[in-house]
Structure 1
């Protein structure tokens, strides 16, 4: 329980503090995965989230819930996006405000009677980490306003500062900024290298003092605060001619632009009608394309023992981002798209690299399909490349990882497993249970100075295995055999209800298995060596 508790706590704290650059949807998906993995309900997860939030000293709630901005990928989708809302039909949307979408970290800054009160990260939209100790060194601590004021801002590092101080340490200005704000040892001098620009203010202030979005810029100037770079688009002709270069400040790293309705009366109407999104604004991430050529095709081992094609292309640079290879997701996708060495393709960029192609020869890949670990040819099954060599190191590693997870060992040590397999100390999945043999073989190789000394890791690994050996059941032993296309849950079910059939290797009458699974079991255990491996495992480790 302690292990999963710490893992979930670390994930929640990283997200709420802004270290994880993921959407709220992705955050919720991961929480659901934790719930399934550790047999928890979502109520239990939410309670953990609440408890962790309370234990965080500088963790405070937002006065107003932070909302999401919907994204589109084409300039021509802007007007249709707004017109989806019935409230905006038959209304002239122009003028529109086009603002630079800064690639930084969003914070909500609050002033109370002119005094800087808090600066809260986006967090989970309801609460976040207080960044007041950082922000107070960057913006005015006192402003001339007698009321409560909420500012939605972006904290970032200019590319000028990044190139001068951090280019050799971090991949981008955003990474450098996140390092400063997340490091408790950062100094005031580090904080002064950051910038803050406002991109919206509290809806209540808009209703009282202002009529148009452009009035916000004048209002902020009076209180010595700065707005993000923007331009006004007055009609459809200006919209068609708009180019991001009109607002692109070369000193600010950005990932698109945001379009807002200028009329604050309409903004307020939309704000009150929708509770989760800012429907009076939309983020644009226009797709930028690059021509390239496929130089080589290589194969890598992906998740679940699947072999993934990777195409190597000419180096592409976009800002601080570089790309010279692209994943083809699956063998089926790769072959259907008829990608080959020499194919001309187009690579699209919309915040992440997305594959697109323009193949000139239309010839399917005709190279060898070879497993990158054991160099045996692999087959394409259910759209994926699968190495069916039972002695493939990757197959053994995958089985051991899955086995350790299924019996509840959460800190097996992936690097240790891979190292033991490469040193030929582990040659079959069940070898991990023979901890005395593992230590003996390791010490022999250590004496011959054939390997690096990481004996502490090996001892910890063996001690962990010994703690869990008593928990091993028959279905764990069968799973360790590595019979293909049968899940752990299905194996557990048949061992519980058809134990006699399993021990007698009579699989034909097991009704909960399909023909393919029965055939795989029969083929596997027709080999007397595999029968002996299984029976030895059951006799030695199962009570």
Structure 2
């Protein structure tokens, strides 16, 4: 029988191999379920035997590390910016400077797409990924290694011949358009402002302190540069081929060009083709291929003389603003949408554009009948950038944002400090009611895939469902009499509703539809409080003490559970048999050093995530409480702990201990 270390090594090698086959060769040698089962085995072994966990373990891909701060790191090789040009004439001038700098010696270019993301630098030592660092100011960047390790296409280890002991690769970290769309859909669903574009979303994601959240956003990175003190390659082309062979995600869009005319052809080709890619691009990078020639050309104070960026102009068009319509979302947010005279833009015909809120209408001074400029650029949804005032006529009236809901007529509310208007009639506004039910059945929530928006609309119109809890009262006889509802589809619906009763509590809490409580927040709340009753009973301070739960989310949760109708809603879900508490993991006892002792945990810790710390206390006989009281034995304080808890503990004479003191207690 293999030892624990051998099992960990075996699973690590096997899973890394499957990852390589899937992401580099597009081959699935095992099913997703089989892969996940092996990953769970490895995670369990690493928990029991952390001393045998490897730095290239695929468990790093799922994240979970909480960073209090990102240490600053000095780049071994400065990350310089490139000179920019927007015209072929300036590019010809660059080519002439290169020709003169090389004394008419023959040279060739490598052309690469300039991806719109976040510049990252990855350091490898003895083939293992040691550091992932942001560009920063070009001289120093932030150490975000835990977040970089969650990028599934980034090798955690590199094998093969002729690998330098130390080397560095650089690339563009990005959020794929599919991930960006999904993230914005969730934000819209829970009533949060939409992110402007994938680049901003990528930048914010890579700087998140919880690498588990980063992992769920499925970030990616295209690698485009190899650096080492050893002279491994003679050309950039050789380095790109080598990196691809070693498992790095090198975009296949690069091309070697012998002349500047071939460069122009490359630029013109990708001017339209780039819109078919899974991420945004904003230009082309042109580099000298030979490393010797690069050294000969050298650098200016700010940028290399052997490379330049050609930037595409932002795609724009002018069209007529025909009307403004107002959409009401599940949480009551009222969003204005500009209805435009159809116009071609960036490969599609644009008929609508987002206006976001009343502030944006006022800032642009929009009027029905205006000719407006629209852009895509780095945006997924076209947006209006300005008005062509030269074409405005004097009879156009200023747009007044409605003060009543366009769906139900209820007076709109605008909270202080928020840009959005919303309809407070959540129990009587049709799109809010149907939206809440559609939210309840979605895959991330109760996963009732036998239902859809059209079916929900039929149920609503027939008076069968006015609340998600009504789904659990549906009967065969109610549905079989409806038009186009056959016996098989009715049985599928009822079976899907019944099956949803086994969905884990974290998904149920997300499905319930509390404003600002997305899937990630729901997971943190269920992990911390364990059941719906504890969440309902928690006050504002108790909720804020949960990591990454701010006052706005906490206030929304408190207000939700204070409403009588919501209390009845939860009671009906409980009666239906829905999971309203988190199943406890089987606890393995480590001793009784903490027997009879009670703890409250607050802050961020060096050696533990909070859930791991809670399990550690319970495994040693102790008990974790949610609030400070006179009966509490210890307040276990990490960095950034809640000041209210500390003040209360001091006042009640509760002993405050550090992480190191806690570790001494359980030795």
**Range of TM-score over shorter length:** 0.3 to 0.5
Structure 2-normalised TM-score?
Answer: 0.39
| Structure with more contact order per residue of length (Cα contacts < 8 Å, sep ≥ 6) | 1
